[in-house]
Amino acid sequence: MKAVSSQQSAINRKRTKNTISFKLYLITDRTVLLKTPNYELQTTNLFAAIEEALKGGIRAVQLREKDLGIRDLLKMAYELRKITAGYAAKLFINDRVDVAIAADADGVHLGQGSMPAHAAKKASDGKLMVGVSAHTIEEALFAENDGADFITFGPVYPTPSKLKYGKPVGINALRNVASEINIPVFAIGGITEERINEIMDCGADGIALISAILGSSDIKHTTERFLGCIK
């Protein structure tokens, strides 16, 4: 029998211990739609775009519109809750635990400057799933130990939306994180269909996308293609 490397064994152990019900994690950014004049729906309506992704098979959406005030964000969260519920999809709210609770969302996604994962769990009486953005192995390990249910890790590749986080972490860093932590890891940043095999071979549990989906001229079919590549 062929020997299994210690690295691959670690990856296998992680997958055995912790699983998650989705592989593709859509993060919203309504400004992406404004840059897509050939969008087939001929609209900048984020709700319509997300529904196209849901029709294509997306089962987890993070509402991440940081420029909105609390009232507008809450209004958007209420509407997205209705839409995602119609597809049995999970809804996460970026940063705002209060909005997540009020909108009856499934979870919250936290950044490095946000409330700690354990505090978000406590504030929601354990009802919210908690995702955390990590950019280093140290941040990933801390998130796991602090009670996060999963992390996004990146940017793996160069991407304009993640320039503020500095240089891409690279594929080797993703492989290291995937082998070291026991919660699901979603790769993020510059991901294309051609790069999915490389990402999944590193032990990632899924991918998180923004413009690759929302910037597409055919959101439904693009979503289907990405899911097909992951499977």
- How far apart CA 46 and CA 33 sit, in angstroms, is 7
195 is catalytic: no
Whether 124 and 100 have beta carbons less than 8 Å apart is answered as: yes
What values do phi and psi take at 204, rounded to 5? -65, 150
Single out the catalytic residue among 23, 59, 64, 96.
Answer: 64
- How far apart CA 207 and CA 191 sit, in angstroms, is 8
Single out the catalytic residue among 114, 124, 133, 216.
Answer: 133
- Which amino acid is located at 221 in the chain? H
- How far apart CA 216 and CA 73 sit, in angstroms, is 24
231 is catalytic: no
Single out the catalytic residue among 23, 90, 162, 175.
Answer: 162
Q: Which residues are catalytic?
A: 64, 133, 162
